[in-house]
Chain A
Amino acid sequence: MLVRVIARRVVISVTLLVIIPALTFVIEALTPGNAADFLLGVSATPEQRAALNHQLGLDQPLWVRYLTWMGRFLHGDLGNSLFTGEPVSQGLASWLPVSLSLLIGATLVTVVVGVAIGAASAQHTGGIGRLIDSLSVLGIAVPNFWLAVVLVEVFAVTFRILPATGYVQPQDSLIEWGLSLVLPVVALAFAGVTAVAKQTRDQMKDVLDRDFIRNLRANGVHERSVIYRHALRNASIPIVTVIGQLFVGALAGSVVVENIFVLPGLGSAAVQAATSHDYPVIQGISVYFTLIVIAVNVIVDIAYGWLNPQVRSL
């Protein structure tokens, strides 16, 4: 079973890595003009366009370009930015740590805070339970971009305790790096925290109704161990899946949040590349986003197997 899970994941991952760049090529080919128009402007002569197209390889058929790109990609070459001329891989190397800081930070907050709230509230049915339920709805309803604006206004502008925008490299100052991430992480994690809290609470309630929980209690296991060792461990299996899905969902959110907080990550670069029609950059970023999704899915699979002995031992 574990082998099948891995095999399936590999198939999906490879498919994604083949399809997503292909999609970007197809979408690009649908465009009425092409990059040369944007680079040279409307006043360029046909000769100039042809020369540039040839230089960029855009005069080749689509499938040739795709295969060429794939061949280079397999050697770690993602081409050059149409505007800066710098290798895309170089840009990605500088954007990726920023995005990962934000995404991992938000995921950690989501998991720790969400699971803690959910587990602690699992036994309570009255007011606290209803509060969690309403908060989870609120988590979906409050748009993250709006929350980000309000957070900046309150914590950066009014109280001046956190930086409003910008990013500090961790090697420059670890503390300032952390501070520069606080508001973006909160804005990105808010919806996730409420969703995970509710999921955890529901799953825990479900597990707490099961036979073995009653047996543990009946034979004297302490309530704390029943809740945090046994019930949480059993509830964590479906929660891990949810967290994986939330992480992937947070990619879209990270693009918005990076732009609001002017963080030089993949999301900011992607929006800039999209508005300036810098296709090699968009293709490179889409590959990286895909790789992140694949990595998360693999981590989820591993965690799932680790948490669930029935998957592990088969």
Chain B
Amino acid sequence: MSNMLETLDSVADPSGSSPTQLPERRSHTSVLRRLLTHPVGLPALVFLVLVILAVIAAPALAPYKPQAVDFSAVLTTPTGKHLLGTDQLGRDVLSRLLYGGQISLEGVAETVLVALGLGFVLGIISGYLGGGVDAVLSRLIEVVMAVPAIVILLMVFSVFNNNEHLAMLTLGVLSAPTIFRVTRGGALTIRHQSYIASAQITGVRSFTIMVRHVVPRIYGPLIVNTSILAGLTLGIQGGLNFIGLGVTPPAPSWGGMVAEAQQSLQEQPWLIVPSGVTTGLVILAFVLLGDALRDVTGERGRGSRVSVGLRAQPEPTIGDYPRSITEPTGIAQAEPLLSVRDLCVAFGSSARLRVVQDVGFDVLPGEAVGIVGESGCGKSVTAWSILGLLASGGQVTSGTALFDGVDIFALSLRERARLRGKQIGFVSQEPMTSLDPCFTVGDQLSELVRTHEKLPRAATRERVIELLTQVGLPDPSDVAKRYPHQISGGMAQRVSIAAALAGRPKLLVADEPTTALDVTVQAEILELLRTLQRERGMAILIITHDLGVVADLCSRAVVMYAGEVVEIGPVQDLVHAPLHPYTKALLASNPAFGKYGEPLPAITGTVPAPAQWPIGCHFADRCAYCIDACTTQPIPLLIPAGQRLARCIRTADLLEGANV
């Protein structure tokens, strides 16, 4: 039984680890206030309070004595005299429910109070003293958790002549581990914090400090667990009473009344309803109250709904300006492999929060293009929208993306899925989390190979080895046998690239492929990408915050800032003479372009969140070249020079080097 409780504990905390981040202290009154406005919490609380009050007031409220027999009205359905009917001895069901509730709820209180008291005190001691005491107590609790509680309970019933109270107190002891773990976790977290140390210096007694500081911390999880424990206890107790343990008939108990109802089920099916439904509803109320408390105390952890700040977003007035001139016309040396136009991506209900706005660029066959910008500029969202893998809540609201002349956004989900891997491969940022930890490298690659081409087993294996060789892994058959946690980050990134190559794609989308790697490994991976591009004629769209990477690998760069393309051009031109102040700032802050011995200026300020995008130039408030005209109207992409585009009205001044 205690293990049953344990289950719920882990339901509450899916990570399973006890000393996780505990919620910050919240005032008790605000918890209560929020509980009183909670759509589920309020009814559950009101119901429980009413039941408890009614049960306490049973002698005053009950119309009959619980054992008053009336053979003139046996097994009746609800009547005016007997609101919930009568049982086989003509006893009033409502009265028996009220009196029986005294025993049931008293038992729940006994269990919960013992579990709470014992678990809390031991938890504080364990968390506060730590070391050996903590180790011993934790082991002991682990053993208690493995004790089949029912055995001990039966023993207690047997020896103490069916004594309900002792059994419920015992159940409390056996339920203490849940509370212990919550308390210990809280105590451990704050044990080393400085205010505890300073309180000790000022001479407050340490145990008092612990209690005073731990309680507000674990207040949330503690009441959540207590509420659920109460619900479970009621269920267990009902079961025991049902089989005649704990409460001896004719004394009423909720579980016992279900048993009595069972005996007369043929004659009067109604009888099963009041006792069963009452028990069920009270359990339900406890559990739902626990859930509600979890909501209002912020004890929700990872299960929480991600709330995107949906504030009013200024509607860009596109009106008089050309919507987007994204690529200079008439320069296309070849038909582009990928051609994105007017791409808008929005998140939130009814797509209210636009995060990518009018983005357009081309990738020619075999060309390497870099999308560059700080985090939060919409680079990855752009890539994922092309792959059709936007996080839930995101959608492409307008635009086209022609791949080999076909608009990806117009395809069905199934057709788009067929494109992935086979036409467009993908490599992500974190190599260590980008492989499935449960399968070997070989398994994962085999699956991909088989997904894309039907090969016999041996040929599949050969292809896997070929892929691993292609990405420059020295001992491919050894790597194939390993699990992701057994290889280094650099190797994992090579494996990820091999996975992306499995379907022989024409375009490889690489989202920050080197960011998480050591500098030397970064260079190796870039070299690998360059080789693949050159030898296989594969186009690469690389997404990065590092202009140095783009300069190293790409022929053209697309600079994005706050959801918009701000500059596009051949990398060499862009690096030597940036046409947008943001590009210039990115260059200046990048060690790859800095002059030896000179300080690297960081760009002051941060990228504005989508909800805060200004009407005018998005970069205006961080820009040294900003003038009034920059902030009053949307800035279009202009063509200040040959094959280049920039979303800036001060390009000329920028080129002259004039600073306002």
Contacts and interface: CB of A to CB of B under 8 A. Distances in A.
A35 to B, nearest CB: 10
A131 interface: no
Interface string A133-155: 00001101111111001101100
B313 interface: no
Contacts of B242: 143, 145, 256, 260
Report which residue of B148, B149, B420 has the largest number of chain A beta carbons within 10 angstroms of its beta carbon: B148
A221 B151 contact: no
A155 B503 CA distance: 55
A141 B7 contact: no
Interface stretch (A65-73, A86-94, A113-121, A272-280): A272-280
Contacts of A11: 139
Interface string A254-294: 01100110000001001101110101001001100110111
A1 B322 CA distance: 64
Given A12-B142, A249-B7, A270 B287 contact: no
Nearest to A214: B389
A20 interface: yes
A260 B439 CA distance: 46
B421 interface: yes
A217 B151 CA distance: 50
A212 interface: yes
A248 B421 contact: no
Nearest to B155: A27
A210 interface: yes
A182 to B, nearest CB: 19
A19 B143 contact: yes
B366 to A, nearest CB: 20
B593 interface: no
B159 A27 contact: yes
Given A149-B258, A219-B420, A198 B287 contact: no
Interface stretch (A49-57, A167-175, A237-245): A237-245
A212 B14 contact: no
B280 A146 contact: yes
B499 interface: yes
Interface string B1-21: 101101110110010100000
Given A220-B417, A242-B10, A249-B3, A20 B486 contact: no
B476 to A, nearest CB: 19
A101 interface: no
Interface string B225-246: 0000001100110111011110
B437 interface: yes
A179 to B, nearest CB: 21
Contacts of A15: 143
B436 A219 contact: no
A202 B155 contact: no
Contacts of B392: 125
B64 interface: no
Contacts of B155: 23-24, 27-28, 274, 282, 286
B500 interface: yes
Report which residue of B7, B269, B272, B421 has the largest number of chain A beta carbons within 10 angstroms of its beta carbon: B7
B613 to A, nearest CB: 27
Report which residue of A212, A214, A233, A273 has the largest number of chain B beta carbons within 10 angstroms of its beta carbon: A212
Interface in B477-498: 483, 485-486, 496
B206 interface: no
Contacts of B150: 251-252, 255, 267, 270, 289
A31 interface: yes
A293 B3 CA distance: 10
A290 B276 contact: no
A219 B500 CA distance: 6
B146 A293 contact: yes
Interface string B144-175: 00111111101111111010000000000000
Contacts of A222: 417, 451
B502 interface: yes
B496 A217 contact: no
Main secondary structure of the interface of B (DSSP, over half): helix
A42 interface: no
A274 to B, nearest CB: 4
B430 interface: yes
A256 B496 contact: no
Given A28-B159, A146-B272, A219-B426, A270 B151 contact: yes
A43 interface: no
A176 to B, nearest CB: 24
B420 A218 contact: yes
Nearest to A232: B438
Given A27-B159, A253-B239, A241 B16 contact: yes
Contacts of B440: 309
B363 interface: no
A281 to B, nearest CB: 10
B303 interface: yes
Contacts of B259: 145
A217 B389 contact: yes
B198 interface: no
A12 B235 contact: no
Interface string A202-225: 110010001110111111111101
A220 B261 contact: no
Contacts of B276: 143, 146, 149-150
A277 B503 CA distance: 72
A62 interface: no
Contacts of B148: 248, 251-252, 286, 289-290, 292-293
Given A210-B433, A245-B4, A307-B438, A20 B151 contact: yes
B179 interface: no
Nearest to B142: A12
Contacts of B433: 210-212
A24 B154 CA distance: 10
Given A143-B239, A145-B239, 16 more contacts: A16-B146, A137-B291, A140-B8, A143-B280, A146-B258, A153-B272, A157-B265, A199-B11, A215-B499, A219-B420, A220-B422, A242-B10, A245-B10, A274-B158, A285-B151, A286-B155
13 contacts: A145-B255, A206-B302, A219-B426, A220-B418, A221-B448, A256-B239, A259-B243, A271-B243, A274-B157, A274-B245, A290-B148, A307-B438, A310-B437
Interface of A: 11-12, 15-16, 19-20, 23-24, 27-28, 30-31, 125, 137-138, 140-146, 149-150, 152-153, 157, 195, 198-199, 202-203, 206, 210-212, 214-223, 225, 229-230, 233-234, 238, 241-242, 245-246, 248-249, 251-253, 255-256, 259-260, 267, 270-271, 273-275, 277, 279, 282, 285-286, 289-290, 292-294, 297, 307-310, 313
Interface of B: 1, 3-4, 6-8, 10-11, 14, 16, 139, 142-143, 146-152, 154-160, 162, 231-232, 235-236, 238-240, 242-245, 255, 258-259, 261-262, 265-266, 269, 272, 275-276, 279-281, 283-284, 287-288, 291, 302-303, 387, 389, 392, 417-418, 420-422, 424-430, 433-440, 447-448, 451-452, 483, 485-486, 496, 499-500, 502-503, 509
